[in-house]
Amino acid sequence: MRLSTTVEEFKGDGYLSSVVVKDLKTGATEELSPGAVFIFIGLTPNTDFVKDMVDLDQWGFITTGHNLETSQKGVFAAGDARGGSTKQVASAVGEGATAALMIRQYLEETQGSRRYRGD
């Protein structure tokens, strides 16, 4: 792990051959040859649009119960914006599927099962 470092350049011809990084404190650059690179865009969730509707944790992630329901009854959250998520695509997809099932269950309990089963 390299702190105070930024990526300056990815090198390669169709495949990654090296990465040029720059030390932000000294300005020195170094060329590395990693086996792979994983791009991570940050830890700041895009949740401003729900901040006055549901509870957020101290970092701005949406808090949910075990069934992915937020503090607002009938509102569910899944994926990277949810506190406690793993911040991985496969997990977000799984959480999305789980949230859909929880929404269906919620609607069946509150609106009646016939209305949402197509009966």
Q: How confident is the model at residue 112 (pLDDT cuts 50, 70, 90)?
A: confident
Question: What is the amino acid identity at position 12?
Answer: G
Indicate if 91 and 52 belong to the same structural domain. yes
User: Which tens digits make up the pLDDT trace of 63-109?
Assistant: 999 999 999 999 999 999 999 999 889 999 999 999 999 999 999 99
pLDDT at res. 2: 84
Indicate if 98 and 66 belong to the same structural domain. yes
Say if CB 89 and CB 81 are below 8 A apart: no
DSSP codes of every residue in 45-70: ---GGGTTTS-B-TTSPBP--TTSB-
Indicate if 60 and 83 belong to the same structural domain. yes
Q: What is the CATH number of the domain that holds 109?
A: 3.50.50.60
pTM, two decimals, is 0.64
User: What does the alpha-carbon distance between residue 6 and residue 18 come to, in Å, rounded to a whole number?
Assistant: 14
